[in-house]
Amino acid sequence: MSTNIVVPELGESIVEATVVRWLKKEGEPVMIGEAVVELETEKANFEVASEQSGVLVRIARGADEDVKVGDLLGVIEATEKGITPTKIKLKEEKIEPPTKEVKPQKVLEAENEKTEIKLVTPVAKQMAEELKIDTSKIIGTGPGNRVTKEDIQKYINNERVEAREPATESLIKQKMDKVPTVTPAVERDRREERIRMSARRRTIARRMLDAQRTAAILTTINEVDMSAVMDLRKRHRDTFKERYGIGIGIVSFFIKASIGALKEFPLLNAEIQEDEIVLKRYYDIGVAIGATGGLVVPVLRDADKMSYADIERAISELSKKSEEGTLTLEDLRGGTFTISNGGVYGSLLSTPILNPPQVAILGLHKIEERPIVLNHEIVIKPMMYLALSYDHRIVDGREAVLFLVRIKKLIEDPGALLLEG
């Protein structure tokens, strides 16, 4: 009895995946519940397990192939009674010895002759023909191990360990003088490399284009004085870490401030479904993380109910999982509003792209000391630019600007965040 291995349901709105690698080879035994193949989706990698014990008799889709939900990946055959998977494997891998008529040495010699012609530069080839030199005896030092003019000259110099007739010396010198010294264009290093885009990178590219095609994206920018937050962090850093076992960062303040502003301006915590606006009365905040395999946006569920310590622990855990490639579909599903912190990479200002179907995203940037006017005096303050991108189809400029101003006020007066719950 055989069982098909198929692409399972991949999660919300995900219909495609890419085969990363097979964990078993054809002919190998498989236990029920054992992982046999790894798939990559736009959000995370996961393994597909076998639903029965037996032998993997067929691999239908190889590494780097794109598949859809329900596609056949492979076939597992239940082990026949009295026959072990090991015996089946040995039978399938039996290899007949080569016959005596095969002459591998002759084949290799023919290949070497063809290769030698390809590994000589045009200038060196002309020079070798005129001087009647066998290039197969010369070790090439040019790009791709090509024999160059310099290699031939070196070979000639080495051959001069014994005296030559004057006429031969004159002929060599004459031929050397006629050879041009300009390096041929074919010897230039103009390497190119083709890398197949991962499923995640292809999806990121598609979603970014879809966001710009389907939404009317505008961006409003403001700046915020980070003095109060930085002072608060400095005063309570040691106590906070001692009590909760983790440091307190910048993003948690902006998550709290964003939730306060979203409660006041609910259209920025909504999405468009055909001709309807869906207002969401819960706050699942996505935090963009630039992982090695590409951008991911894990989600903090019900972030309005989380403490600062809860937020910091969650961000730390999600960042670790993103680097290890262990994020689950549940970690990435949904989200009502996103925060992206380009400041960790040194970005001073940017215009973030929406994360559909969300209608707003907040971009944080580098904190930089700048002169500002305060109470009619020029002072130096740690300032940060904030950028809010929004979908102008349902969010007007007035709401967007006031939303960002609200975040600015809450950050510049962290005590007010306590009143936001």
Q: How many domains does the chain have?
A: 3
Please report, for the domain that includes residue 15, its CATH number. Answer: 2.40.50.100
Does the structure show a pLDDT above 70 at 109?
no
Q: Give domain status of residue 36, yes or no.
A: yes
Claim to verify: residue 288 and residue 389 sit in the same structural domain = yes
Does the structure show a pLDDT above 60 at 284?
yes
Distance between CA atoms of residues 258 and 410, nearest Å:
9
| C-beta of residue 386 within 8 angstroms of C-beta of residue 364 | yes
The closest of 124, 114, 178, 113 to 146, measured between CA atoms, is 124
Greatest mean pLDDT among 146-150, 209-213, 226-230: 226-230
Q: What is the pLDDT of residue 184?
A: 53
Claim to verify: residue 141 and residue 71 sit in the same structural domain = no
The closest of 303, 290, 301 to 252, measured between CA atoms, is 303
Give the 3-state secondary structure of residue 280: coil
Claim to verify: residue 128 and residue 88 sit in the same structural domain = no
Does the structure show a pLDDT above 80 at 186?
no
Structure tokens at 98: 């080569």
* β-bridge partners, 218: 390
Claim to verify: residue 230 and residue 377 sit in the same structural domain = yes
Q: Which of 184, 219, 241 is the last residue of a domain?
A: 184
Claim to verify: residue 253 and residue 394 sit in the same structural domain = yes
Instruction: pLDDT band for 193, please (50, 70, 90 cuts).
Output: confident
Claim to verify: residue 238 and residue 167 sit in the same structural domain = no
Q: What is the mean pLDDT of the chain?
A: 83
Q: What is the pLDDT of residue 334?
A: 85
Q: Which of 92, 125, 150 is the last residue of a domain?
A: 92
Average pLDDT over residues 29-54: 86
Please give the angle made by the CA atoms of 81, 87 and 92, to the nearest 5 degrees: 115
Does the structure show a pLDDT above 80 at 288?
yes
Structure tokens at 131: 């001087």
Instruction: pLDDT band for 80, please (50, 70, 90 cuts).
Output: low
Q: What is the pLDDT of residue 352?
A: 95
* Dihedral sign of CA atoms 63, 69, 74, 79 in order: positive
Q: What is the DSSP letter of 120?
A: B
Claim to verify: residue 77 and residue 120 sit in the same structural domain = no
Structure tokens at 13: 């709105």
Q: Give domain status of residue 62, yes or no.
A: yes
Residues 6+ apart with CB under 8 A from 68: 7, 15, 16, 17
| C-beta of residue 37 within 8 angstroms of C-beta of residue 21 | yes
Looking from the CA of 395 toward its CB, the CA atoms found within 13 Å total 32
Claim to verify: residue 148 and residue 266 sit in the same structural domain = no
Does the structure show a pLDDT above 90 at 223?
yes
- pLDDT higher for 174 or 283? 283
Burial zone of 74 (CB within 10 Å; 0-12 exposed, 13-18 middle, 19+ buried): buried
Please report, for the domain that includes residue 115, its CATH number. Answer: 4.10.320.10
Q: What is the pLDDT of residue 78?
A: 86
Q: What is the DSSP letter of 147?
A: B
Q: Give domain status of residue 315, yes or no.
A: yes
Claim to verify: residue 205 and residue 304 sit in the same structural domain = yes
Q: Give domain status of residue 98, yes or no.
A: no
Q: What is the pLDDT of residue 255?
A: 97
Instruction: pLDDT band for 61, please (50, 70, 90 cuts).
Output: very high
Q: Give domain status of residue 84, yes or no.
A: yes
Please report, for the domain that includes residue 409, its CATH number. Answer: 3.30.559.10
Q: pLDDT tens-digit profile of 343-359?
A: 999 999 999 999 989 99
Residue 392 is among the residues annotated as catalytic for this protein: yes
The closest of 130, 182, 181, 180 to 156, measured between CA atoms, is 130
Annotate 292-317 with b (16+ C-beta within 10 A) or e (fewer): ebbbbbbbbbebbebebbebbebbee
Pairing mode, if any, of strands 368-374 and 72-77?
A: unpaired
Q: What is the pLDDT of residue 93?
A: 42
Annotate 88-123 with b (16+ C-beta within 10 A) or e (fewer): bbeeeeeeeeeeeeeeeeeeeeeeeeeeeeebbbeb
Q: What is the pLDDT of residue 87?
A: 39
Q: What is the DSSP letter of 138?
A: S
**Which residue is catalytic, options 64, 66, 396, 413?**
396
Does the structure show a pLDDT above 70 at 13?
no
**Could you identify the residue written with the tokens 């740690």?**
382
The closest of 398, 395, 328, 319 to 360, measured between CA atoms, is 395
Claim to verify: residue 333 and residue 407 sit in the same structural domain = yes
Q: Give domain status of residue 194, yes or no.
A: no
For 74, the domain range is 2-92
The closest of 227, 309, 329 to 10, measured between CA atoms, is 329
- pLDDT higher for 89 or 304? 304
Instruction: pLDDT band for 421, please (50, 70, 90 cuts).
Output: low
| C-beta of residue 73 within 8 angstroms of C-beta of residue 6 | yes
Distance between CA atoms of residues 369 and 190, nearest Å:
44
Q: Would you tell me how many other CB atoms lie within 10 Å of the CB of residue 72?
A: 13
Share of the chain above pLDDT 70, in %: 81
Pairing mode, if any, of strands 360-364 and 270-273?
A: unpaired
- Which residue type occupies 364? L
Instruction: pLDDT band for 100, please (50, 70, 90 cuts).
Output: very low
DSSP alpha helices (H): ranges in 245-355? 251-264, 308-324, 329-332
Distance between CA atoms of residues 238 and 251, nearest Å:
18
Instruction: pLDDT band for 309, please (50, 70, 90 cuts).
Output: very high
Q: What is the pLDDT of residue 95?
A: 41
Claim to verify: residue 411 and residue 288 sit in the same structural domain = yes
Q: Which of 131, 155, 184 is the last residue of a domain?
A: 184
Q: What is the pLDDT of residue 181?
A: 57
- pLDDT higher for 88 or 55? 55
- Which residue type occupies 351? T
Q: Give domain status of residue 370, yes or no.
A: yes
Instruction: pLDDT band for 152, please (50, 70, 90 cuts).
Output: confident
Greatest mean pLDDT among 90-94, 110-114, 348-352: 348-352
Instruction: pLDDT band for 156, please (50, 70, 90 cuts).
Output: confident
Q: What is the pLDDT of residue 107?
A: 39
Distance between CA atoms of residues 13 and 20, nearest Å:
20
Burial zone of 330 (CB within 10 Å; 0-12 exposed, 13-18 middle, 19+ buried): middle
Average pLDDT over residues 238-254: 94
Claim to verify: residue 168 and residue 86 sit in the same structural domain = no
DSSP alpha helices (H): ranges in 37-165? 85-92, 104-118, 122-131, 149-159
